[in-house]
Amino acid sequence: MSNTARPVSPDDDTAAYIKEVEEGIAAVAAGQTIPYEDVRKWLLSWGTDNELPLPECP
């Protein structure tokens, strides 16, 4: 069995994924993050009668 990585041929999905990852890295570098506790509270509210809105960057 070979451990040589095979190149992935680029397609629209791959390009879109790479673009989103690069935008996410740039946002974090610019300090545009949502505090962990805000995300945790939001996720824990899913499926309840009191679902919280999507948290936003402060």
Give pLDDT tens digits for 14-46.
Answer: 889 999 999 999 999 999 999 999 999 999 999
Radius of gyration of the chain (CA): 18
- Of residues 1 and 9, the one with the higher pLDDT is 9
Q: What is the pLDDT of residue 6?
A: 73
* Predicted TM-score (pTM) of this structure: 0.61
Backbone dihedral region for residue 53 (phi beyond 0: left; psi -120 to 50: alpha; all else: beta): beta
Are 19 and 25 in contact by the 8 Å Cβ rule? The answer is no
Q: What is the pLDDT of residue 36?
A: 97
Q: What is the pLDDT of residue 22?
A: 96
